[in-house]
């Protein structure tokens, strides 16, 4: 029997929440510094979305998910699907930090022959649940995984991280409607609501508001929160692991490029590579944030 206790299971007591949040904050900061180094060395990447999602992904991998890197395909593991599949910098650093593969492999990011592709591939990397990349793909797969768990009366939970721009895909709302119809209480979706997509704001491209009301209309429980508040994230994820008869969506209000002043809330950093001066500034800001 694998040791697949949820890391945060003993931390549901609010007295432990600040300790857990401090640990997640440290890991998220490390992820940001490490993924920026990966992008600079590779000469390509999507730093804006990686940085906006880092706190969410760190909360899951370093506190919430019931996973075992020694047995990545254990039947009773929790499932995490990165539907916004271009943000592999954040996913790969979390997987390496959680022990799914050596941290040294991060140095191969996007290089010829590397297992660390621009989009995650479960055939290459342990811990990747499904291949994602085309937007609007990962969430429907996550709904299917949750349906399977419901049919089997399995104990695992399914977590899916989407981008807000991704919600302009029709397949996302087909999946949301079906999940609500099935009452998938084992499913939690997190919307990385940074309000920016490639080239423009989401509301300028194809307005999503009133976003919370849309999810409620499809039969979902809705929680709106600060996606960079580690205590709020952990409390919401703790609640998401409790039994319920509806799927739940966390609308996590975030900032694209969070943690780096010149990237924050700038659509042009959806993808791009910092030059040497910018990289040095970014690392200095992140290191200062850890000392604050």
Q: What is the 3-state secondary structure (H, E, C) of 95-129?
A: HHHHCCCCHHHHHHCCCCCCCCCCCCCCCCCCCCC
Q: Around 152, how many Cα atoms within 13 Å sit in the side-chain half-sphere?
A: 13
Give the predicted TM-score (pTM) of the model.
0.95
Each residue's pLDDT tens digit, 244-291? 999 999 999 999 999 999 999 999 999 999 999 999 999 999 999 999
Each residue's pLDDT tens digit, 81-122? 999 999 999 999 999 999 999 999 999 999 999 999 999 999
Evaluate whether 286 touches 37 at the Cβ level (below 8 Å). no
User: Structurally, what CATH architecture does the domain formed by 19-291 represent?
Assistant: 3-Layer(aba) Sandwich (3.40)
Distance in angstroms between the alpha carbons of the first and the last residue of the chain: 42
How many whole angstroms separate alpha carbon 45 and alpha carbon 40? 8
Average pLDDT of the segment spanning 22-42: 98
In the chain, where the domains are located: 19-291
Evaluate whether 54 touches 92 at the Cβ level (below 8 Å). no
Cα angle at 103 between 97 and 107, to 5 degrees?
130
What would the two tokens of residue 114 be? 């590397």
> How many C-beta neighbours within 10 Å does residue 262 have?
12
């Amino acid at each position: 029997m694998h040791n697949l206790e949820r890391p945060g299971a003993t931390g549901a007591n609010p007295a432990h929440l600040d300790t857990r949040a401090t640990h997640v904050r440290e890991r998220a900061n490390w992820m940001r510094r490490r993924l920026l180094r990966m992008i600079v060395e590779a000469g390509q990447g999507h730093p804006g979305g990686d940085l906006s999602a880092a706190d969410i992904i760190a909360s899951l991998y370093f506190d919430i998910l019931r996973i075992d890197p020694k047995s990545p395909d254990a039947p009773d593991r929790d499932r995490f699907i990165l539907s916004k599949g271009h943000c592999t910098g954040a996913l790969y650093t979390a997987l390496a930090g959680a022990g799914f593969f050596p941290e040294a492999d991060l140095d191969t990011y996007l290089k010829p022959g590397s297992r660390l592709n621009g989009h995650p591939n479960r055939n290459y990397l342990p811990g990747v649940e499904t291949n994602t990349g085309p937007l609007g793909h990962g969430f429907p797969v996550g709904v299917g995984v949750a349906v399977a768990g419901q049919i089997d009366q399995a104990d695992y939970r399914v977590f899916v991280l989407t981008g807000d721009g991704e919600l302009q895909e029709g397949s996302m709302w087909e999946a949301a409607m079906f999940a609500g119809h099935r009452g998938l209480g084992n499913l939690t979706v997190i919307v990385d609501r940074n309000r920016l997509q490639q080239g423009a704001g989401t509301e300028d491209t194809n307005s999503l508001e009133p976003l919370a009301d849309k999810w409620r209309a499809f039969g979902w429980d809705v929680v709106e929160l600060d996606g960079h508040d580690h205590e709020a994230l952990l409390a919401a994820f703790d609640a998401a692991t409790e039994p319920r008869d509806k799927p739940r969506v966390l609308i996590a209000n975030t900032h694209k490029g969070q943690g780096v002043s010149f990237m924050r809330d700038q659509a042009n950093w959806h993808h791009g590579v910092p030059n040497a001066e910018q990289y040095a500034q970014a690392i200095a800001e992140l290191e200062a944030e850890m000392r604050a």
